[in-house]
Amino acid sequence: MAVFKSCYQCKERYLGCHSVCPKYLKEKADWEMTKQIITKNKDPVLASYDFDKITYNSRKRHKQRFR
């Protein structure tokens, strides 16, 4: 969850102010644009440790336990 600096110690803050606060709306729009850029530029190739984690979780899930 993103914490916006404009809301941290805002004196005018009240319950439900996020729908009308211009500072919050501007900062949220900037954050959404940043998230889109991060998602677009993210490397789609999985690293080897990602494959190891997937393999480990798969083995753990299918492990049979005998009593």
pLDDT of residue 33: 93
pLDDT of residue 50: 60
What does each of the 67 residues of the chain score in pLDDT, given as a tens digit? 456 666 777 777 777 787 888 888 888 899 999 989 888 877 665 555 566 666 666 555 555 666 6
Q: What is the DSSP letter of 42?
A: S
Backbone φ and ψ of 60, nearest 5°: -65, -35
pLDDT of residue 61: 59
pLDDT of residue 5: 66
Q: Where are the domains of the chain?
A: 5-61
Q: Which helix (H) or strand (E) holds 5?
A: helix 5-8
Nearest one of 41, 23, 21 to 33, comparing CA atoms:
41
